[in-house]
Amino acid sequence: MKYISTRGRIDPVGFQEAVMTGLARDGGLLIPQSIPRVTDRLDQWRRLTYVELAVEIMALFADLERAELDPLVRRSYVSFASPEVTPVVRVGPVHILELFHGPTLAFKDVALQLLGNLFEHVLRRTGGELNILAATSGDTGSAAIHGVRGRDHMQIFVLHPAGRVSPLQERQMTTVLDANVHNLALTGSFDDCQAIVKMLFNDLEFRDRYALGSVNSINWARILAQMVYYFYATFRVQDATGAARVRFAVPTGNFGDIFAGYLAARMGLPIGRLVLATNENDILSRFFATGEYRKGPVRLTLSPSMDIQVASNFERYLYYRGGESARQVNTWMDQFSAQGSLTVPLEGGAGVDGLIVGGRGTTEETLAVIRRYQEKEGYLLDPHTAVGVQVGEAHLHPDEPMICLATAHPAKFSEAIVRALGRDIAHHPILDALRNLPTRKENLPADVDAVRAVLVRTLDHRVKPA
């Protein structure tokens, strides 16, 4: 499998190069040249364990021998608390896909434990160095840090918006004191952090000199790893209910998680509907209703990992929505860069896309869902998952069970739980152990030159003279 850019201005690259590259060198996002159809394999795959299924799916996209891929994938999930990795439980009218059993209690672990091992595998083969530059709205940072902390030949620099992640999310990052971990708190929003990362990646001379790599969901391996749990959950729920098709409700900020489901559907997984759930930062839900993608100010909410206006994976979706035309993608992205908006034609009465429907969960609705599920079902939702459940319930179908992605453990957002329930019941020993640990971070303005200076100061002694 080779990989091309959504903007069509690079030669195709292999999987390992795509993993190490992150953002395409023409500023686009890397995607596979083709999406394999797997309908004839689904009955065989449904009998596999999570790890076995992951190997089968990843083998379709990765230029690794099975003897390399199998142990790499197994190592990636050995630290998960559940033997199923991503178990599914029935809760009231929905099925909850629990994605928070990894070392940092968030869905990002599913991809980032794998990505850390992929990086290490390639660096051992090439003898190179990798300096990871990442932006986080909360969970990506801690998951990425825990995926690469202490590894040889890797440094990681994580940009987070100061005061706009939960206190526990910040502590998960800043209490990691390994020498190869650098936390940068920027005055601004996640979108500011993400824009700085993209600016530095698009400075090709700087990017090459300092061997920059990405763990954000612009990295194709993130999407690939997330595709697996759509298959796994579909099989589990089909086995339990006998349903021919299922639906997924996905709390969404950067569009990576739901895009993985979109590709799984293109591969032939029987998904009846993907329900995109946003909080008050509803640029994506508005888009799928109206066809207009218009940037606005970032609003602070109870679900900070979704407090995003510019979704970095949206360009991948536009490539397929535009008929796999790089020319059309460039037209749309130029329009968005110049005007802060773009418009896609509607598909008759089906909105923008017959598979994806959007919805919005407000703060008060989020709190009400957390209360209702705790009181009626005895199940505690984190605020991001609650947004997904709120919107997902509006799209229930009698013949297509709804699977709601639980993207984080509720203990990561204990302040929201206290606000919803009036009592502090969201705890986890991993998080409780962080409360009195020392922390380390550097405060910076949201300025690309300030971040560039930190990288130069830290890495100059590690790079060869130009």
Label the pairing between strands 94-98 and 88-91: antiparallel
CB neighbourhood size of 179 (10 A):
8
Please report, as a single letter, which amino acid is at residue 226: Q
Angle among Cα 260, 263, 268 to the nearest 5 degrees reads 130
- Crossing angle for the helix pair 314-321 and 256-266, nearest 10 degrees? 30
Enumerate residues 6+ apart whose C-beta is below 8 A from 38: 45, 60, 267, 268, 269
Give the long-range contacts of residues 72-80, CB within 8 A, separation 24 or more: 72/114, 72/117, 72/118, 72/121, 73/114, 75/117, 76/113, 76/114, 76/116, 76/117, 77/50, 77/51, 77/113, 79/103, 79/113, 80/109
Catalytic residue selected from 108, 198, 412, 464: 108
- Crossing angle for the helix pair 108-126 and 139-148, nearest 10 degrees? 40
Report whether 165 contacts 137 (CB < 8 A).
yes
Residue 157, beta-bridge partner list = 133, 182
In 3D space, the residue among 107, 161, 189, 92 whose CA is nearest the CA of residue 382 turns out to be 107
Enumerate residues 6+ apart whose C-beta is below 8 A from 315: 6, 28, 29, 329, 333
Q: In the annotation, is 108 catalytic? A: yes
Q: With H, G, I as helix, E, B as strand and everything else as coil, classify residue 443.
A: strand
- Just list the catalytic residues: 108
